[in-house]
């Protein structure tokens, strides 16, 4: 399988504090890669590197290269807006826009200049179907997205991301605000999506990582300690720290 | 008396004192409104609203005054809304945090505290004389727009600040530019707060008298304005004019005009409160 993403000698600083230390890592296409590790080890920071969401943090500073399809996305000539159409993101807390369900899903296309009603309608339906939300909301697409349940909102946020047709999806603890049933639905969804998408997911839930991911990387205090097939990480970790973490002895 | 009894007594005393202080404000207000209504209510009729001013109190009306007020309100609105909202957006969303931007911030808050007559003097020099607007509706509107600009800027910033960061992040993550994010998501989500601020600012402008007198708004206007370059009068100036007459009948006219002015401000404040509540209910983060 080919690599679509690569981090080369990446160091990240917030002011004087070093949040990531010399990370080198390649991500496989159409696979789910889980990032695990104790709180504050730099998982979110790392994830946000790939769609340049750290750019908004004043004290943020990085060295090294992030390659997407063999292009360094921190090059000057990269247009961030274009990059983010290719690399979507789902956040920890569902964050729907205070608009209708339809408007939420259509937004990504509208800002690209798509105005054709039929095209938008089709795209919205397709995205909602992919996110396994269509049957629940097809009758009230005009209802406010804020009226949905937390789990529905998160699937709406996933649909909103899918509508733009990215090839890579970043997810930062997408189920941490959801109940077990909603979590199961989202996990199911992630397994489906990997047919078409490359997914990187941050999670604190070890069972979740082992259930849905193909590869797992363990981070500890800004360092990438171990990266391997998920099976290997969970059954035969090479490092004691990894072992301790996945068995719940710390973190 | 022991210590706890003394404390209890203190508590009680302060309680009554507090009630007394609150009542003073309310009673004075009630007395004021009561006497205005007693004097003025019977004077308000169709003729009063549609008559031009006159030297005879019974024939004098406030047509020119309320039409003038409406002109002023409309033009003040047209001027202050784009200026104030743009400045608010710039300061909140675009300006980098620096010495200069915090200096600007402090000064905008200070501007809100400058006595309104100073704005009148400034406008007399700049709008009336330098820009040659004369004592026109346009000059008056510019003056009042300047006066309430800080209110709109501050309200806009507060409303923008209330929009959670996660909304901006979601928009950026979908490939939106800063402009699109502000225009399509942040502004609509803060619309209620901004509107409330604008209405309060305008309702403040309706009641202003001093700066308009300074720039030469007229005490006696025998015609209704037909363009923004016309001379004008407004309700509070008409009230001021009538009150300064010696004849008692004019005081009745003034009371009637005050009722109208109060009505307008109450309605505007009511609308502002309504919008605020409605938006708060609709957007519950
Ligand atoms: N905006 C910021 N400014 C300064 N330091 C930051 C900022 N964001 C994160 N950090 C620091 O960088 C380190 C990594 O943070 P990050 O959010 O990436 O951790 P995480 O692994 O995602 O943790 P969690 O599991 O709790 O979400 C932490 O020590 C944090 O305090
Ligand atoms: Mg995190």
A114: which residues sit within 8 A by CB, 6+ positions away? A120, A123
Calculate how far, in angstroms, residue A45's C-alpha sits from the geometric centre of ligand 1.
6
Is the beta carbon of A59 within 6 A of some atom in ligand 1?
yes
Contacts of B185 in chain A (CB under 8 A): 97
Nearest to A53 among B173, B177, B188 (CB): B173
Is the beta carbon of A91 within 6 A of some atom in ligand 1?
no
Strand ranges across the sheet with A71-72: A17-28, A3-14, A60-68, A71-72
- Bridge-based pairing of strands A168-172 and A87-90 is parallel
Among left, alpha and beta (phi > 0; psi -120 to 50; other), residue A52 is left
Q: If you search the block for the tokens 């033009």, which residue do you land on?
A: B75
Q: Which ligand is nearest to the CA of A36?
A: 1
Q: Secondary structure of B25-59 in the HEC alphabet?
A: HHHHHHHHHHHHHHHHHHHCCHHHHHCCCCCCCCC
Mutate one of A105, A107, A112, A145 to test the B interface: name it (highest B CB count within 10 A). Answer: A107
Q: Do B169 and A146 touch (CB under 8 A)?
A: no
CB atoms within 10 A of CB A234: 19
A229-245 average pLDDT score = 92
CA-nearest residue for atom 9, ligand 1, is A45
CA-nearest residue for atom 14, ligand 1, is A42
Residues A113, A115, A121: CA angle, nearest 5 degrees: 120
Q: Do A98 and B189 touch (CB under 8 A)?
A: yes
Q: Do A81 and B171 touch (CB under 8 A)?
A: no
State the pLDDT at residue A1. 62
Higher pLDDT, A22 or B248: A22
Is the beta carbon of A39 within 6 A of some atom in ligand 1?
yes
DSSP character at residue A54:
G
Q: How confident is the model at residue A235 (pLDDT cuts 50, 70, 90)?
A: very high
- pLDDT value at A15 more than 90: yes
For a substitution probing ligand 1, which of A10, A12, A14 has the most ligand atoms within 8 Å of its CB? Answer: A14
CA-nearest residue for atom 22, ligand 1, is A44
Nearest to B169 among A53, A85, A107 (CB): A53
Spans in chain B with pLDDT lower than 70: 280-285
**Token reading at A186:** 């989202």
Contacts of A51 in chain B (CB under 8 A): 173
- pLDDT value at A61 more than 70: yes
Element (H, E) at A155: helix A150-163
Is the beta carbon of A100 within 6 A of some atom in ligand 1?
no
User: How high is the mean pLDDT of chain A?
Assistant: 93
CA-nearest residue for atom 16, ligand 1, is A42
Closest CA to A164 of A137, A194, A199, A124: A124
Q: Do A95 and B171 touch (CB under 8 A)?
A: no
B180–A contact, CB cutoff 8 A: yes
Nearest to B172 among A53, A146, A161 (CB): A53
Angstrom distance (rounded) from CA B57 to CA B60: 5
Calculate how far, in angstroms, residue A165's C-alpha sits from the geometric centre of ligand 1.
29
A154-178 average pLDDT score = 93
Q: How many residues does chain B have?
A: 285
Q: Do B172 and A157 touch (CB under 8 A)?
A: no
Mutate one of A73, A80, A81, A153 to test the B interface: name it (highest B CB count within 10 A). Answer: A81
State the pLDDT at residue B283. 62
Q: Closest-CA residue in chain A for B179?
A: A111
Nearest CA of chain B to the CA of A144: how many Å? 9
Calculate how far, in angstroms, residue B1's C-alpha sits from the geometric centre of ligand 2.
62
Give one DSSP letter per residue of chain B, joined into a string. Answer: --HHHHHHHHHHHHHHHHHHHHHHHHHHHHHHHHHHHHHHGGG-SHHHHHPPP-SSTTT---HHHHHHHHHHHHHHHHHHHHHHHHHHHIIIIIS--SHHHHHHHHHHHHHTTS-HHHHHHHHIIIIIIIS---SBHHHHHHHHHHHHHHHHHHHHHHHHHTS-HHHHHHHHHTT--HHHIIIIIIHHHHHHHHHHHHHHHHHHHHH--HHHHHTT--S---S---STTSB---HHHHHHHHHTSSSHHHHHHHHHHHHHHHHHHHHHHHHHHHHHHHHHHH---
B167–A contact, CB cutoff 8 A: yes
Q: Which atom of ligand 1 is nearest to the CA of A47?
A: 18
Beta bridge partners of A10: A23
């Amino acid at each position: 399988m080919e690599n679509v993403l690569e981090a080369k000698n990446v160091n990240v600083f917030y002011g004087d504090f070093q949040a990531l230390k010399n990370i080198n890592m390649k991500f496989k296409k159409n696979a789910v890669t889980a990032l695990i590790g104790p709180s504050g080890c730099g998982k979110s920071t790392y994830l946000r590197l790939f769609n340049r969401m750290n750019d908004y943090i004043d004290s943020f500073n990085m060295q090294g290269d992030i390659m997407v399809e063999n292009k360094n996305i921190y090059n000057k000539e990269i247009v961030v807006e274009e990059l983010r159409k290719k690399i979507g993101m789902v956040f920890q807390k569902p964050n729907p826009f205070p608009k209708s369900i339809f408007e939420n899903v259509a937004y990504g296309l509208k800002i690209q200049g798509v105005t054709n009603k039929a095209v938008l309608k089709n795209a919205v339906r397709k995205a909602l179907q992919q996110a396994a939300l269509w049957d629940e909301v097809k009758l009230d697409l005009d209802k406010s997205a804020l009226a949905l349940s937390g789990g529905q909102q998160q699937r709406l946020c996933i649909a909103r991301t899918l509508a733009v047709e990215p090839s890579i999806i970043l997810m930062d603890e997408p189920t941490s605000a959801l109940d077990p049933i909603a979590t199961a639905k989202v996990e199911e969804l992630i397994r489906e999506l990997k047919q078409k998408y490359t997914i990187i997911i941050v999670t604190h839930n070890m069972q979740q990582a082992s259930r849905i991911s193909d590869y797992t990387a363990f981070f500890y205090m800004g360092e990438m300690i171990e990266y391997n097939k998920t099976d290997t990480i969970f059954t035969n970790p090479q490092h004691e720290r990894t072992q301790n973490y996945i068995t719940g002895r710390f973190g | 008396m022991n210590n706890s009894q003394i404390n209890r007594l203190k508590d009680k005393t302060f309680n009554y004192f507090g009630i007394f202080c609150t009542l003073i404000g309310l009673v004075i207000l009630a007395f004021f409104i009561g006497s205005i209504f007693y004097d003025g209510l019977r004077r308000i009729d169709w003729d009063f609203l549609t008559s031009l001013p006159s030297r005879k109190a019974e024939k004098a009306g406030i047509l020119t005054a309320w039409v003038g007020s409406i002109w002023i309100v409309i033009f003040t609105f047209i001027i202050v809304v784009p200026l104030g909202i743009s400045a608010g957006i710039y300061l909140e969303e675009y300006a980098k945090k620096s010495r200069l931007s915090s200096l600007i911030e402090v000064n905008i808050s200070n501007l809100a505290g400058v006595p309104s007559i100073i704005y009148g003097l400034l406008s007399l020099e700049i709008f009336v004389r330098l820009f040659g607007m004369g004592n026109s509706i346009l000059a008056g509107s510019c003056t009042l727009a300047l006066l309430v600009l800080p209110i709109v800027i501050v309200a806009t910033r507060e409303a923008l600040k209330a929009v959670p960061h996660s909304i901006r992040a979601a928009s950026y993550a979908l490939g939106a530019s800063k402009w699109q994010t502000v225009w399509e998501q942040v502004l609509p989500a803060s619309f209620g707060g901004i509107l409330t601020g604008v209405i309060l600012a305008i309702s403040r402008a309706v009641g202003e008298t001093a700066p308009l007198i300074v720039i030469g708004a007229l005490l006696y206007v025998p015609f209704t304005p037909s363009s923004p370059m016309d001379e004008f009068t407004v309700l509070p100036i008409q009230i001021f004019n009538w009150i300064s007459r010696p004849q008692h009948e004019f005081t009745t006219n003034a009371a009637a005009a005050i009722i109208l002015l109060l009505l307008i401000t109450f309605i505007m404040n009511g609308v502002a409160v309504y919008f605020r509540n409605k938006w708060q209910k609709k957007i519950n983060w």
